[in-house]
Chains A and B, each alone.
Chain A
Amino acid sequence: MAGPYRYGVQNSHFGRVRRALGRPWRATVFLAAGLPLATIGAVVLLTIGIPPTPAGAVVLLLFSPLLTRIQRDRYRVLYDVEIPPTRHPQGLLARLRSRSTWRPYLYHLLLGPLIGTLGAAVVLGWAAGVAMVTCWMWRYALPLDVRLSENPKLFTLNTVGGVVVLAVLPWASAAVARLDCWAGRNFLGPDRAEVLEKRVEVLAVSRAGVVDAADAERRRIERDLHDGAQQRLVSLAVNLGLALATMPDLPSDARTVIQEAHAEAKAAIEELSLLVRGLHPAVLDDRGLSAALSGIAERSVVPVRLTVTLPQRPPPTVEAVAYFTVSEALANVAKHSKAEQAEVEVRGTGDRLLVRVWDDGVGGADASDGTGLRGLALRAASVDGRLTVRSPQGGPTEIRVELPCVR
């Protein structure tokens, strides 16, 4: 039982040691590889590219992307740093104007050579450090006159200095490598704004997908329940009803049992119907928001004045959000507000849908506590909509939802 546990500890301990030794080593290799690349790049760009000749311009435009690609490979292969490719705008002119076209030049001409120099210092530092630490080993190989002219203490000092250099270098190499990574990310990769923009794009698409999928799933469950359990229950109730109607001579206790089962089945149908309607009302798909909302308004305990003005049908997901907003808001009105009347107004204005639910109740509703209002705010936010609640103590309460109708 202790075996695997101890083995695990040893293994992780070993791994830590290996990583501690490996990190400066990798950083050094990474930096060493950067030096020739930066040198070649800067030299080529400066000598061929900068003089304003047509050939120079071509080199300038073609060589830099190639250099960028090689550098990106260096980051990935030698240091596990992924620098995503830049998205260039379409068209030559737009491309020439774009910041992301020119940022790499700053790297290749200035930062690359600079960091390359620091990298070279690191590599030399390792060599110097090793040489200094081991000087007592090879001092005997030095020419005799040099050995005699030196202070013997100098060798001790060299050794000590070498140890210090070797102790500092892992940190220094990591620091320079970090600097290199920062430069690479900021000048070879896409702009931060560009990255965020792309991320927002991806998130918007995936969220729309999730919202639509949830919506579709609710519809599917509604269909399944409608076609399956509900029909079965109705059929059961019908058969029990038939038994009661066609067998008048049943013993009274059997009759009682069947009557109870009959009543139970009918109650189950009612309950299931309420549940299914809460999932997704079929009339919303068939007849749209106005018809579905008049259904809710009609079922409301508090009298509702409903106004729907829609020049065109909103997208299905937006319709569903509007429907459930009104449904939940009116349920709240009935439960908490003690209102005598309520108003529901739905207005489409081309690119957005405005929903307003008002009641003359006691007020004091709060979107931040755990009531259904918070759920409504989340639902609205799922389609980039906004919910505002105005509900002073003593009323009236007004809930406004603004939903963009993007097609």
Chain B
Amino acid sequence: MRAVIAEDSLLLRIGVVKVLQSAGIDVVAEEDDAEGLLRAVEEHRPELAVVDVRMPPGFTDEGVRAALVIRRQFPGTAVLLLSQYVEGRYAADLLTEYQAGIGYLLKQRVADVAEFVDAVRRVAAGGTALDPQVVAQLLVRRRNDPLDRLTQREREVLASMAEGRSNAGIAEALVISESAVAKHINSIFAKLDLPKAETDHRRVLAVLQFRSGDGDGEEES
């Protein structure tokens, strides 16, 4: 697999590159800003771009914007965003547009090498990888929220689903059988009035449909 990386902190870039290389991933370009990243993606057409959210020149959300551009212009390149903090709004920005080939993890997750490499492979294969903290933010209860109708177990299943796990992964994480997972998921879809569908994308939508839109408007759902 080939990957490009955009991260302005040299130390961390070296670390991430080492982790990727240890997993046999070929890092074809290392950039330190969004512009360089877009050039590198255009040139190399890699399967994956690992992107820091906050980069020069503005040090705000350059990475998020670059990720949206990459997913739109180069559908073959999956994007894994790394961030110092979790911002539910950034995740919502990304996931309302693209539910495949996208990931959003805290930087310190790179330190758990095996899990990080798992997430990298899942994203590159067209899946999703969301940081548990992102998921927690996405699942926060609101008043009159249909999510209130879920049982505790179903909420846990939904959370694991949102992190991008497969049914087997959920079963393993929650120590229940795979058929029980399937039953919970059907129940979740029913309670959230989602039409039955087999694609993974719908699974993330289950989480996202309760997120409010962007901008400074009414926040209440």
Residues of A in contact with B (beta carbons under 8 Å apart) = 223, 226-227, 230-232, 234-235, 237-242, 244-246, 262, 265-266, 269-270, 273, 276-277, 281-283, 285-291, 293-295, 297-300, 303, 305-310, 313, 341
Beta-carbon contact of A273 and B84 below 8 Å: yes
Beta-carbon contact of A245 and B110 below 8 Å: no
In the bound complex, what is the Cα–Cα distance between A240 and B216 (angstroms)?
42
Show 26 A/B contacts (Cβ-Cβ < 8 Å), sorted by A. Answer: A230-B84, A231-B11, A235-B11, A238-B19, A238-B110, A241-B19, A241-B112, A242-B18, A242-B22, A245-B19, A245-B113, A262-B111, A270-B108, A273-B85, A277-B85, A288-B216, A290-B215, A293-B219, A294-B212, A295-B87, A295-B88, A295-B137, A298-B88, A303-B140, A308-B216, A341-B143
B193 interface residue (CB < 8 Å to A): no
Residues of B in contact with A (beta carbons under 8 Å apart) = 9, 11-12, 14-16, 18-19, 22, 54, 59-61, 84-85, 87-90, 107-108, 110-114, 116, 136-137, 140-143, 212, 215-220
**Minimum Cβ distance to chain B for residue A303 (Å):** 5
Among residues of A, the one whose C-beta sits closest to the C-beta of B138 is A298
**Minimum Cβ distance to chain A for residue B1 (Å):** 17
**Minimum Cβ distance to chain B for residue A260 (Å):** 14
Contacts of A269 in B (CB 8 A): 107-108
Among residues of B, the one whose C-beta sits closest to the C-beta of A270 is B108
Residue of B11, B110, B218 with most chain A CB atoms under a 10 A cut-off? B11
Among residues of A, the one whose C-beta sits closest to the C-beta of B113 is A245
Among residues of B, the one whose C-beta sits closest to the C-beta of A288 is B216
Known: A238-B15, A241-B19, A294-B88; 7 extra A-B contacts, CB below 8 A, are: A230-B84, A242-B113, A245-B113, A269-B107, A282-B60, A295-B137, A308-B216
Beta-carbon contact of A242 and B88 below 8 Å: no
**Known contacts A226-B84, A234-B107, A305-B220: A239-B15 contact under CB 8 Å:** yes
Beta-carbon contact of A238 and B54 below 8 Å: no
Beta-carbon contact of B19 and A294 below 8 Å: no
Beta-carbon contact of A242 and B140 below 8 Å: no
In the bound complex, what is the Cα–Cα distance between A273 and B54 (angstroms)?
15
- Given B9, B14, B114, which contacts A227 in the complex, CB threshold below 8 Å? B9
**Minimum Cβ distance to chain A for residue B63 (Å):** 11
Beta-carbon contact of A237 and B216 below 8 Å: no
